């Protein structure tokens, strides 16, 4: 980087880059609206396991419906919602809706124990929770001892005692989605970003609206990447996964997920939907390298693999290029922003 007038000049120092002075929910809604206007009803996210799909126009409407539904149930500016569940479409959708309603959210690992969830929720002070059917009973047991939690929403069509079905929020007409979020302080909390805790004590970073907007404001649709297919294997309810999802959403990508994951389902999804990029953990790379019948699947579409979680075995790091014949980039994620730019 050059030094001019005793100042270091480089990327990010140009006066041309300005962080929009708007709350996160308004920034995301505006970006999605532009995607809809420019690219029509492009696909946003498809759950390979259930076949459920949503395009960007539906995302725009659903985000406003859920935000309105939350408001009608007492959700106020600054209130918090906790997300804990598998890779269902509703997982990222509710985060977008919470921000559009002027609140903040935290994603918790699905592997946390009863006591750990209890501790986290007391620490967060959340009034609302979104979970899936498999975890709903455990979450209900936890919130019985937490008088500040007002509602638990559950994904799916099967009723669960003590829960409200998330579909009720989706059916809301959206008439109480706030026109603006002028009462949101840009320095107030938008996101409690927890680490998973799998490699040590879980840590948390409090991210205000301005920080997240600044991080996301440089991600815009690129003509040669709009509609590019990406397959999520890593969880969308952790910091890395949700950050990656947000970047690709603003970039108008065609995203796929697996709410019912298995390695064989992963291979079938690659063969059927032909993504150009996928996200994996190092354990998935090892499994692919050791799979005895990998050549029975057409994996030729994959050009980029993004890895997060831990370091990859150097032997598998070399072998995976032989297993995926058109792989060009193995991106071992150190920074979330780098992961989004690479894909």
- CA–CA gap between residue 340 and residue 216 (Å, rounded): 10
With beta carbons less than 8 A apart as the criterion, state whether 229 and 273 touch.
Answer: yes
Give the homologous superfamily in CATH for domain 24-41+55-216: ANL, N-terminal domain (3.40.50.12780)
Mean of the pLDDT values across residues 173-200? 88
**Domain range summary for the chain, segments of one domain joined by +:** 24-41+55-216, 262-342
Given a cut of 90, is residue 195 above it in pLDDT?
no
Of the candidate ranges 25-34, 274-283, 293-302, 306-315, the one whose mean pLDDT is the lowest:
306-315
Mean of the pLDDT values across residues 89-95? 96
Question: What is the per-residue pLDDT for 237?
Answer: 84
Fold agreement between 24-41+55-216 and 262-342: yes
Mean of the pLDDT values across residues 23-47? 93
Given a cut of 80, is residue 307 above it in pLDDT?
yes
- CA–CA gap between residue 109 and residue 223 (Å, rounded): 35
Higher pLDDT, 339 or 244: 244
Per-residue model confidence as pLDDT tens digits over 143-166:
999 999 999 999 999 999 999 999
Q: Which long-range contacts (CB under 8 A, 24 or more apart) does 109-112 make?
A: 109/84, 109/194, 109/196, 109/197, 109/198, 109/202, 109/235, 109/238, 110/84, 110/85, 110/86, 110/135, 110/235, 110/237, 111/196, 111/198, 112/84, 112/197
Pairing of strands 104-107, 189-194: parallel
Given a cut of 50, is residue 24 above it in pLDDT?
yes
With beta carbons less than 8 A apart as the criterion, state whether 214 and 220 touch.
Answer: no
pLDDT above 90 coverage of the chain, percent: 72
- CA–CA gap between residue 96 and residue 83 (Å, rounded): 12
- CA–CA gap between residue 312 and residue 325 (Å, rounded): 19
How many Cα atoms within 13 Å fall on the side-chain side of residue 28?
A: 33
Q: What is the pTM of this model?
A: 0.89
Of the candidate ranges 11-20, 125-134, 160-169, 320-329, the one whose mean pLDDT is the lowest:
11-20
Mean of the pLDDT values across residues 70-79? 97
- Please determine, looking at this structure, whether the domain spanning 262-342 carries the CATH number 1.10.150.20: no
Of the candidate ranges 2-16, 254-268, 270-284, the one whose mean pLDDT is the lowest:
2-16
Mean pLDDT of the chain: 89
Give me the helices (H) in 217-324, please.
239-250, 263-273, 282-290, 314-323
Of the candidate ranges 98-112, 114-128, 186-200, the one whose mean pLDDT is the lowest:
186-200
- CA–CA gap between residue 309 and residue 279 (Å, rounded): 11
- Tokens 């699905």 -> residue: 110
Backbone angles phi, psi at 53, to 5 degrees: -140, 155
With beta carbons less than 8 A apart as the criterion, state whether 261 and 233 touch.
Answer: yes
Chain Cα centroid distance, residue 307: 16
Given a cut of 50, is residue 283 above it in pLDDT?
yes
DSSP state of 229: E
Mean of the pLDDT values across residues 190-198? 81
Of the candidate ranges 19-28, 38-47, 63-72, 189-198, the one whose mean pLDDT is the lowest:
189-198
């Amino acid at each position: 980087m050059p030094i001019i007038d005793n100042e270091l000049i480089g990327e990010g120092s140009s006066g041309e880059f300005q962080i929009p002075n708007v709350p996160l929910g308004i920034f995301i809604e505006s970006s999605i609206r532009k995607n809809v206007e420019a690219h029509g009803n492009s696909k946003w996210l498809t759950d390979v396991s259930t076949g459920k799909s949503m395009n960007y126009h539906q995302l725009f409407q659903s985000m406003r419906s859920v935000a309105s539904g939350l408001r009608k149930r007492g959700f106020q500016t600054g209130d918090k919602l906790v997300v804990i569940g598998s890779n269902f479409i509703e997982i990222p959708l509710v985060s977008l809706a919470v921000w559009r309603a002027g609140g903040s959210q935290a994603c918790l690992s699905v592997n946390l124990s009863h006591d750990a969830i209890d501790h986290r929720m007391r620490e967060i002070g959340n009034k609302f929770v979104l979970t899936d059917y498999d975890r709903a009973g455990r979450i209900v047991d936890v919130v019985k001892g937490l008088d500040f939690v007002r509602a638990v929403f559950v994904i799916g069509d099967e009723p669960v005692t003590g829960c409200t079905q998330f579909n009720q929020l989706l059916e809301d007409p959206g008439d109480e989605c706030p026109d603006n979020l002028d009462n949101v302080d840009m320095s107030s909390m938008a996101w409690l970003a927890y680490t998973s805790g799998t490699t040590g004590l879980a840590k948390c970073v409090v991210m205000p609206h301005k920080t997240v907007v600044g991080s996301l404001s440089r991600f815009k649709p690129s003509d040669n990447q709009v509609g590019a297919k990406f397959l999520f294997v890593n969880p969308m309810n952790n910091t890395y996964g949700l950050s990656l999802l947000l970047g690709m959403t603003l970039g108008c990508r065609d995203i796929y997920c697996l709410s019912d994951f298995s390695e064989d389902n992963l291979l079938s999804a690659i063969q059927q939907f032909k993504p150009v990029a996928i996200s994996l953990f190092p354990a998935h790379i090892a499994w692919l390298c050791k799979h005895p019948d990998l050549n029975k699947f057409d994996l030729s579409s994959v050009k980029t693999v993004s890895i997060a979680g831990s370091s990859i075995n150097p032997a598998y790091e070399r072998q995976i290029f032989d297993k995926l014949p058109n792989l060009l980039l193995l991106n071992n994620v150190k920074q979330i922003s780098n992961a989004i730019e690479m894909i």
